[in-house]
């Protein structure tokens, strides 16, 4: 079949591909340890599930307003105002089918062909593909492993050109598991403030999963010039263990939200209607204790997996301070070596493939994240898995020739 040029140009999501492959191996009875999935290994807190079940039971099964119910949008606005110091109402909010869809609708609503996405690397795999679908081009700004993958204000200033339209800030970050300090973000905000055509997409979806001494601050609140030029993204997926529910939020200027509403109205319409009453329940401070339980556990796992990775000769890896990922540089440890089948490893993709085949451990290669010397491991998996997986990785690396 003759496919569109648009779809032919898309790279399939490598994170979903690894997860699917390790799930298929598990289903075939193979004992695989998966570090691929970017989702909490917890169940959704009970009161959130109960709210959706009640709404379903009560017959909330009809079309809703495209952007979400008035109550759900108001709940998002209240959360942003009380937790992050925003000054928004429900009219500044649109609810979409997960954070991924929120970002996609925003890219399609704001980018014209030829507009440029400024993308600090490493980055989450979908940003460049979504920007390209909107006709945009991508300019990467390379972060360094020695600086926890963070870009500097000087790098940003140098990268901004006449076509630059959107800068993505994703802190805490997928895939790096690191985050900017408030002062570092403020310094970047000062640069953005000088360029009135530049918008910022602040992807805050890991805002509650923070482990170091730095406090999370939302980009739009950092500089008076930025509230109108920052579009903020959040979702229920990671914080509340709700990846399968598909609930994402965009918080932005009202004219943008209206445009996104029009686009989404021709695309998906509202998210599942009986999920909407669960939004306010999730965002209520009553769920803070459940979120904290998960955060404390992720913090422990992050420290542990980091220690174990550093014990492998040649591996370089910043300490995770947010989200639930580590992104070690494995180039010195494995590139140029030969695996048990006599295959030379020269890339992260080659390493990930060989590791899955010979050690039955699934990690995501860094190429599609803009980090070709790295692999991503998610520590949203139990301590036992972390230890068994790292035992296998250690033994595999030791056996390389
Ligand atoms: C940085 C980042 N943004 C957005 C998303 C999308 O989240 P959702 O699962 O709600 O679509 C993800 C998911 O992995 C992510 O890591």
Domains, the chain, in order of start with CATH, read 5-43+289-399 (3.90.1150.10), 47-285 (3.40.640.10)
86 Cα–ligand 1 center, Å:
22
What is the reported pLDDT for 372? Answer: 96
- CA 244 – ligand 1 centroid, Å: 12
- Beta-bridge mates of residue 142: 121
314 CA → ligand 1 middle, Å: 30
Q: What is the pLDDT of residue 17?
A: 74
For ligand 1, the distance from its centroid to the CA atom of residue 197, given in whole angstroms, is: 26
**What is the Cα 266 distance to its own chain's centre?**
26
Q: What pLDDT does residue 22 have?
A: 83
Residue 170 CA: nearest ligand 1 atom is 1
Ligand 1 atom with the smallest distance to the CA of 246 is 10
Which of the listed residues 76, 171, 202, 238 should we mutate to test ligand 1's pocket, taking the one with most ligand atoms within 8 A of CB? 238
In ligand 1, the atom with minimum distance to the C-alpha of 100 is 11
Supply the pLDDT for residue 10: 86
**Which pLDDT belongs to residue 94?**
98
Structure token digits, residue 374: 């790295």
pLDDT tens digits in sequence order for the chain, 401 residues long: 999 999 898 877 766 777 788 888 989 999 999 998 889 999 999 999 999 999 999 999 999 999 999 999 999 999 999 999 999 999 999 999 999 999 999 999 999 999 999 999 999 999 999 999 999 999 999 999 999 999 999 999 999 999 999 999 999 999 999 999 999 999 999 999 999 999 999 999 999 999 999 999 999 999 888 999 999 999 999 999 999 999 999 999 999 999 999 999 999 999 999 999 999 999 999 999 999 999 999 999 999 999 999 999 999 999 999 999 999 999 999 999 999 999 999 999 999 999 999 999 999 999 999 999 999 999 999 999 999 999 999 999 999 99
Residue 166: exposure state from Cβ atoms within 10 A (0-12, 13-18, ≥19)? buried
Distance 263 CA to ligand 1 centre (A): 20
**CA 218, CA 225: separation in Å to the nearest integer?**
14
* 8 Å CB contact between 127 and 117: yes
Ligand 1 midpoint to CA 313 (Å): 32
What residues flank ligand 1, with Cβ below 6 Å? 38, 98-100, 124, 170, 174, 203, 205, 235, 237, 243, 248
Question: DSSP alpha helices (H): ranges in 66-152?
Answer: 70-84, 99-110, 126-133
pLDDT value at residue 225: 87
| Interval between CA 241 and ligand 1 midpoint (Å) | 12
Residue among 15, 19, 40, 99 to mutate when testing ligand 1 (max atoms within 8 A of CB): 99
Centre of ligand 1 from the C-alpha of residue 100, in Å = 5
Q: Among 14, 16, 100, 323, which residue has the most ligand 1 atoms within 8 Å of its CB, making it the best to mutate?
A: 100
Distance in angstroms between the alpha carbons of the first and the last residue of the chain: 45
Name the residue with the closest Cα to ligand 1, atom 16.
174
Residue 138 DSSP one-character state: E
The confidence score (pLDDT) of residue 19 equals 76
Distance 46 CA to ligand 1 centre (A): 23
380 in Cβ contact with 43 (< 8 Å): no
Read off the pTM: 0.96
Instruction: Please report the atom of ligand 1 found closest to the CA of residue 247.
Output: 10
């Amino acid at each position: 079949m003759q496919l569109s040029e648009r779809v032919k140009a898309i790279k399939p999501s490598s994170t979903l591909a690894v997860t699917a492959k390790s799930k298929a191996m598990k289903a075939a009875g193979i004992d695989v340890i998966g570090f691929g999935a970017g989702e909490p290994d917890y169940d959704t807190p009970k009161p959130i599930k109960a709210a959706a079940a009640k709404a379903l039971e009560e017959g909330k099964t009809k079309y809703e307003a495209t952007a979400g119910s008035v109550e759900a949008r108001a709940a998002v606005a209240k959360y942003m105002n009380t937790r992050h110091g925003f000054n928004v109402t429900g009219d500044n909010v649109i609810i979409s089918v997960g954070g991924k869809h929120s970002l996609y609708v925003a890219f399609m609503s704001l980018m014209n062909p030829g507009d440029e996405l400024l993308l600090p690397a490493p980055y989450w795999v979908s940003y460049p593909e979504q920007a390209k679908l909107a006709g945009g081009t991508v300019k990467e700004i390379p972060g360094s492993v020695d600086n926890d993958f963070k870009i500097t204000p000087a790098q940003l200033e140098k990268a901004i050109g006449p076509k630059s339209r959107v800068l993505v800030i994703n802190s805490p970050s997928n895939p790096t598991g690191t985050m900017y300090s408030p002062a570092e973000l403020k310094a970047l905000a000062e640069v953005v403030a000088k360029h009135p055509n530049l918008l910022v997409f602040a992807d805050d979806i890991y805002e509650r999963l923070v482990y170091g001494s730095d406090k999370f601050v939302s980009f739009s609140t950092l500089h008076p010039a930025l509230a109108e030029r920052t579009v903020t993204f959040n979702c229920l997926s990671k914080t509340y263990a709700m990846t399968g529910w598909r609930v994402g939020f965009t918080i932005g200027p009202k004219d943008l939200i209206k445009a996104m509403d029009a686009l989404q109205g021709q695309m998906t319409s509202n998210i599942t209607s009986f999920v909407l009453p669960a939004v306010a329940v999730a965002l209520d401070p009553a769920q803070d204790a459940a979120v904290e339980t998960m955060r404390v556990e992720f913090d422990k796992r992050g420290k542990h997996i980091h220690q174990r990775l550093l014990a492998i000769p040649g591996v370089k890896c910043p300490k995770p301070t947010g989200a639930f990922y580590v992104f070690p540089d494995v180039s010195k440890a494995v590139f140029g070596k030969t695996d048990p089948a006599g295959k030379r490893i020269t890339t992260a993709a080659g390493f990930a493939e060989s590791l899955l085949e010979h050690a039955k451990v699934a990690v995501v290669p860094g190429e599609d994240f803009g980090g070709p010397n790295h692999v991503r491991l998610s520590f949203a998996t139990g301590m036992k898995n972390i230890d068994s997986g790292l035992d296998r990785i250690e033994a595999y690396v030791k056996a390389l020739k």
